[in-house]
Amino acid sequence: MPIDFLLPNNMKNKKGSVILKTIKINKHKFNLEIYPKLVDWEIFPHNYDAALYAFSNKDKINKKIESKYIYENTCI
């Protein structure tokens, strides 16, 4: 089921196939692009320091993004 109708217009691109967010992880800014139709995502650092941080802490960032921004918390 598409989730595009739940998002404000400023978080979708023109076609509605990409969700764009600016996130901050440990004082570093990243652009997060979520592709709900492909069930995939990418991050893009804002500066060189953020790129170095992302390269050094790839696993930690993946876990944090997946738990906070990608997957829903479902409690039964």
**Highest mean pLDDT out of 16-20, 21-25, 35-39, 69-73:** 21-25
pLDDT of residue 67: 87
Cα 25 to Cα 59: distance, rounded to the nearest angstrom: 13
pLDDT of residue 1: 42
Q: For residue 36, is pLDDT > 80?
A: yes
Predicted TM-score (pTM) of the model is 0.70
Cα 58 to Cα 5: distance, rounded to the nearest angstrom: 31
pLDDT band at 47 (very low <50, low <70, confident <90, very high): very high
Q: For residue 14, is pLDDT > 70?
A: no
Using H for helix, E for strand and C for coil, what is the string for 10-69?
HHECCCCCCEEEEEEECCEEEEEEEECCCCEEEEEECCHHHHHHHHHCHHHHHHHHHHHH
